[in-house]
Structure 1
């Protein structure tokens, strides 16, 4: 079972190393929950907490992913799938979020499970999604004008990854989002006694735009083809 209708065709994206397939609740949610709660993967990510499939559906799947501006992919590592079966090759998730069809803008979000970090997985997953979003329709892409990468301002690893993938740093949006779990900046309760205030974060904002894509694309393809 997949989420609601995305603005665009959520087709399978793949190369010889990985596949991005539409996230299927029946196939992928239990592994995602296990990884998130075993490895504290939401430290820097503004997801609502979920410890069970029911909480995932209630707090994230139904209220967020059923919107037409949202879609979620499961990352499948082909090498692992060939060796031990696809059930063990689910390596993380990639998302297109806050998509505006009118403005031709989207944001990508990435979550890689620890066993697949510092491998070819993240680079190829992000590269495939960039090709899909920024390549023109004549080349099989969506031809969007802007793709964003946003992360917690204190998430140094994510900021390095954005720059490595060719994104341009635009600045820090202060108090940009709440951060239900994990690291957060000082809460209002410490400042003025407000009770029950959601913790917040400052967000580092990066982007790649259509008018620089032709220059950046070969560099990203070269990264994807590197041996790890």
Structure 2
């Protein structure tokens, strides 16, 4: 028998919140996000390489239809990522939502070049994790990806997710085999991860040239096992 869970009641489902940060915000995806997002997705077919269910899109109308469908979904529940200066630059979701077990996953992480490697790319992961653990009260937060997707594996560990293993021949995606690499963050680990996020995001961690002084990967070095 496992340890008794202090609160075994179901967790709330995610909702249409707006979470503000220093570099931008996340907000519920709406059909109106399609046009500004297309500006950054157009001509970037490589962004869809490891997305198993959809994409790439050749036209703005096809992309807009995808965004409209996605905006109406409850699982995955989709949030637009909005840069304070550039507007919408990507989206991600909360998915595999299991309130009875207080388990949830961040997935469909779509970062355009305008978002990649920016402070906002990290800040929104912090804002979403904080929402998952502190507002909704989930106890397990998952990150999983195609096992061949090395950038996603590195990103998950950089954000503080711990590698758990790889499930082989998990699905057939776009006619190809996909093994899934699994990572997780637990509620008991969140205080440390939160502190690391906040230390990295602090103004003191960036020089006049905007470069970081200490990396988030080094702060979360205990996750760097593959």
Q: Which TM bucket (shorter chain)?
A: 0.7 to 0.9
Query: What does residue 43 of structure 2 align with?
Result: 38
1:54 Cα deviation from its structure 2 partner: 5.2
1:92 Cα deviation from its structure 2 partner: 0.9
TM-score, normalised by the number of residues in structure 2: 0.75
Secondary structure of 2:130's counterpart equals helix
Query: What does residue 95 of structure 1 align with?
Result: 93
Determine if contact 1:71/1:95 at 8 Å carries over to the other structure: yes
- Residues 130-156 of structure 1, C-alpha deviations (whole Å, 9 max, x = no match): 000012xxxxx1110111111111111
1:112 Cα deviation from its structure 2 partner: 1.1
- Of structures 1 and 2, the one scoring higher in RCO (CA 8 A, sep 6+) is 1
* Compared CA separation, residues 175 and 34, structure 1 to 2 (3 A): farther
Query: What does residue 146 of structure 1 align with?
Result: 140
Structure 1: stretches of 5+ with no match in the other structure: 1-5, 82-87, 136-140, 181-197
Counterparts of 1:7-156 in structure 2, within 5 Å, are 7-26=13-32, 28-40=33-45, 41-49=47-55, 50-52=57-59, 55-56=62-63, 61-62=68-69, 66-78=72-84, 81=85, 88-109=86-107, 110-135=109-134, 141-156=135-150
1:178 Cα deviation from its structure 2 partner: 3.1
Determine if contact 1:176/1:203 at 8 Å carries over to the other structure: yes
TM-score, normalised by the number of residues in structure 1: 0.74
Structure 2: stretches of 5+ with no match in the other structure: 1-11, 212-226
Query: What does residue 175 of structure 1 align with?
Result: 169
Secondary structure of 1:44's counterpart equals coil
